[in-house]
């Protein structure tokens, strides 16, 4: 009688959250090095490769865990997933993006999945620059450009302060070696995605209005107040 499969919990990119996985196959490679032959002290390390299958969507992933006896005893090891864990899914409107946006967004999401938060923040700062250059004919200084976006109703005054915070975070990542926390990065992602989505919806609404045929003129109602002869 075969043994039941070992079950572990791991992040599933398809399901978008942590799920139960069957361990399809596992291999452990162990090594050690004697440090002091008199006391018998040695350093041990191991690499565990595991193939996992999600019990929900059946997506298969590969996990590598590297462990060393010299590390923190409470640390179970450095874990790497292939493909990398997706920390944020692309929005449903991603495929409708112009090429200037889509290429940058793709690099930003790749940086997110690799936990390269500083690179992702720099990309978001650049994305705001691209948005500004698409909307304004000239190339004003950044602060002046933001004011023009408000004046031309591309963004609201309330949104302006939020975008300034996102820009400052990107500037700090680029010039002051600032690595934003996951929560900070998520907040800036929300800001920039909402900015780009609102722009797409505005363009879609304008295109929709042009495609709608005009309403036919109403026929004049007969004057019933006149007496019939």
What confidence tens digit (pLDDT) does each residue in 132-183 have? 888 887 777 888 888 888 888 887 887 788 778 777 877 787 787 777 777 7
Instruction: Check whether 85 has a pLDDT greater than 80.
Output: no
Retrieve residue 111's tokens: 């940086």
Instruction: Check whether 206 has a pLDDT greater than 70.
Output: no
153 or 49: whose pLDDT is higher?
49
Retrieve residue 125's tokens: 């700062």
* Helical (H) or strand (E) element with 196: helix 182-211
- Average pLDDT of span 26-52: 89
By the 8 A CB rule, do 195 and 163 touch? yes
Q: What is the residue-averaged pLDDT of the chain?
A: 82
Task: Convert the pLDDT of each residue in 56-75 to its tens digit.
Answer: 999 999 999 999 888 776 67
Interatomic CA distance for residues 81 and 85, integer angstroms: 6
Tokens 């500083």 sit at which residue?
Answer: 118
Instruction: Check whether 228 has a pLDDT greater than 60.
Output: no
Instruction: Check whether 202 has a pLDDT greater than 70.
Output: yes
226 or 144: whose pLDDT is higher?
144
Query: DSSP of 141-162, one letter per residue?
Result: -HHHHHHHHHHTTSS-HHHHHH
Q: What is the dihedral of CA 199, 203, 205, 206, to 10 degrees?
A: 140
User: For the chain, how many residues are written?
Assistant: 229
- Average pLDDT of span 179-208: 78
Instruction: Check whether 87 has a pLDDT greater than 60.
Output: yes
Question: According to the model, what pLDDT value does residue 136 have?
Answer: 85
- Average pLDDT of span 201-210: 65
Instruction: Check whether 226 has a pLDDT greater than 80.
Output: no
């Amino acid at each position: 009688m075969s043994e039941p499969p070992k079950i572990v919990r791991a992040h599933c990119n398809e399901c978008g959250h942590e799920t139960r996985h069957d361990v399809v196959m596992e291999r452990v490679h162990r090594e050690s090095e004697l440090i002091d032959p008199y006391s018998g002290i040695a350093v041990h390390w191991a690499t565990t490769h595991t193939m996992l299958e999600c019990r929900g969507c059946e997506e298969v992933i590969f996990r590598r865990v590297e462990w060393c006896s010299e590390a923190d005893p409470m640390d179970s090891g450095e874990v790497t997933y292939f493909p990398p864990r997706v920390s944020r899914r692309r929005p449903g409107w991603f495929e409708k993006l112009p090429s200037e946006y889509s290429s940058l967004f793709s690099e930003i999401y790749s940086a997110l999945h690799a936990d390269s938060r500083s690179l992702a923040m720099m990309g978001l700062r650049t994305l705001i620059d691209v948005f500004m250059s698409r909307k304004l004919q000239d190339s004003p200084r950044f602060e002046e450009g933001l004011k023009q976006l408000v004046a031309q109703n591309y963004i609201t005054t309330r949104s302006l302060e939020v975008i300034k915070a996102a820009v400052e975070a990107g500037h700090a990542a680029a010039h002051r070696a600032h690595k934003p926390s996951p929560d900070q990065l998520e907040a800036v992602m929300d800001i920039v995605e909402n900015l780009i989505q609102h722009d797409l919806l505005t363009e879609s609404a304008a295109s929709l209005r042009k495609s709608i045929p005009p309403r036919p003129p109403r026929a004049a109602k007969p004057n019933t107040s006149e007496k019939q002869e």
